[in-house]
Amino acid sequence: MSRTSASSKRLSLLEKALVDGNGILRCEPAWVARDFLPPGRRLGLPEDQYDVGERGFICERWLASTTRADNRVGPPDEGLSYLQFQDGSRMSLQEACEIGGHLLLGEVYARTHGNRLGRLAKIYDFNDRIPYHYHQMKKDAALVGRNSKEEAYFFPEGVPLGPHPETFFGVHPWIVESRKYDVLLPYLVDWNSDLILQHAWAELLVPGDGFHIPSGILHGPGTALTIELQEDSDVFAMLQAKVAGRIIPKDLLFKDVRKQDRKRFGERIILKQINWKLSGDRSFYEHRHLGQRLVKETRQKGGEEYWIYYNTTAFSGKRLLVRPGAKFRSIDQGVYSVLVWKGTGTFDGLRVRAGDFSSDELVVTHRRAVLPLEIVNDGKETLEIIKFFGPDINPNCPRIIGD
C-alpha cells in the first residue's frame, strides 16, 4: 500500500470516529515515568504499576498529549496520547492532528497554528519536591530545536498535599537588583547539595489555587498533586544537585543546552538563560498567583465555570462544576480537551466517570465546541470537569497585571 493510500485510509478512520462521537473523541491515559524522584502514588494506578524498573516510577499522567516525554530511557511514544475508537482501533492524537488537523482544530485554527494543539496538560504526582529548575525561554529553546515552556498549576481539592506542600520560587530580589547572579554559580559547579534553595523563597500550596510561571523563571514545585497546563514542550535545566537524599546526574543541568555553549561557557551558560527580571520580582505572588475566577457569562442554575489557567495567551483553562441531578449548557470558542476529575454523568451523551481511565478524558473538536452541548450530572456528588485550551482560543481570559 502506498503512503498516500495508507494516509487516506487513516483519515477515513478518523472521520468515522468523529461521526460516531459527534465531534468528540475519547483519549486513553498517557503514563510518564521519571527516574529522579519518588512517586506520590496518587494517580489511581494499582500499587504494583508505579515501579517501571530502569525507567523509574510512573509520576505523571499526560492528558490529550501530542508531546513526547524527553526521558533517557523509555518507549519512543512515551507521553503521546492515543484515541480509542468504537471499533477498538487506535490512533495517536499527534497523528490525528497531522492528518486531520482541520477536522479537530477547525480550518482557520489549523492553518494559523500549524495543525497543532500547542499545549500540554498533565497531572504530576511526586513524593518529594521537584528540583529547583527553569524552562528555557523561546530564544534558548530554539537553539536546541525545542519549544519554550510557559506553564500554570492548579492544586485540586480533597487530595493529600504530600510531605512538602510548598514551592520555591525565583531568587531573593537583592540578587537581581545588585546583579549578583554569580551567587548561584558555586552550587552548579560543585554539584553536591541542595543549598542553592537558600537563595529562593517558598509559597504555601493551597488546594483550589494555582500559579502562572512564564519560561525562564526559577522554581522548585512542592508535593501537592498538581494539574498543570503548559506549552507543548519538555525542556528544562535542573539547578539543584541533591534531590530526595541523592545526587542526580549533572547532565540534567545541561539537558537542553547546546554542546558548544556548554564547552565555551561551562556552568555560566545557565545564568545567561534565566529570566532574572521575573525571577526577582518583588510582587511575584501578586503577579503570578492564580485564584479561581468565576466565568460570569456561563453561570447557570445547574452549575458554573471558573477560570483556573489564565494571565497568558499561550493557553487557558476552566473548572466546570455541575450540581447533582443538574444539567449545564456548554459553549466554547474552540477545540479543547477534558479531564473528568470528580463525579459521573454524560458529556453530550457520552458516558463519563472520574477515575475510570476508559471514560474520564475527551477531546472536543472545534466544530462541536462552538455549538451548545449538554453536560448532565446523574450522580450524587458534584461533577467536576477541567477544560484545557491551547494558544489564542480564549484571548479575553483574565489578566492579573492591568486588570
Does residue 161 sit in helix, strand or coil? coil
pLDDT confidence tier of residue 2, bands split at 50, 70 and 90: low
pLDDT > 80? residue 244 = yes
Domain 292-389 fold is Jelly Rolls (2.60.120)
Claim: this prediction has a pTM higher than 0.75? yes
Mean pLDDT for 330-355 is: 98
- As a CATH number, domain 29-80+117-289 is 2.60.120.10
pLDDT > 80? residue 5 = no
Which amino acid is present at 137?
M
Nearest C-alpha neighbor of 258 from the set 400, 139, 86: 139
pLDDT > 60? residue 403 = no
Mean pLDDT for 198-204 is: 98
Mean pLDDT for 342-359 is: 98
CA distance 199 to 214: 20
CA distance 360 to 166: 29
Q: What would the pLDDT profile of 268-282 be if each residue is shown by its tens digit?
A: 999 999 999 999 999
Mean pLDDT for 101-116 is: 96
DSSP 176-232: HHTT-GGGGHHHHHH---SGGGGGSEEEE--TT-EEEE-TT--EE--SS-EEEEE-S
Residue 4 class from Cβ within 10 Å (0-12 exposed, 13-18 middle, 19+ buried)? Answer: exposed
pLDDT > 70? residue 250 = yes
Cβ contact 67:231 at 8 Å: no
The total of other beta-carbon atoms located within 10 Å of residue 44's CB is 14
Residue with cell 525561554: 137
For 375, half-sphere exposure in the C-beta direction (CA atoms, 13 angstrom radius) is 32
Cβ contact 126:403 at 8 Å: no
Residue with cell 441531578: 325
Mean pLDDT for 277-289 is: 97
Nearest C-alpha neighbor of 29 from the set 11, 15, 43: 43
Adjacent-strand bridge partners of 142: none
pLDDT confidence tier of residue 6, bands split at 50, 70 and 90: confident
* Predicted local confidence at residue 87, as pLDDT: 87
Nearest C-alpha neighbor of 127 from the set 11, 254, 226: 226
CA distance 363 to 238: 33
The percentage of residues in the chain with a pLDDT greater than 90, rounded to a whole number, is 95
Nearest C-alpha neighbor of 69 from the set 245, 255, 316: 255
Q: What would the pLDDT profile of 141-154 be if each residue is shown by its tens digit?
A: 999 999 999 999 99
Mean pLDDT for 304-316 is: 98
Mean pLDDT for 278-292 is: 97
CATH 2.60.120.10 domain range(s) in the chain:
29-80+117-289, 292-389
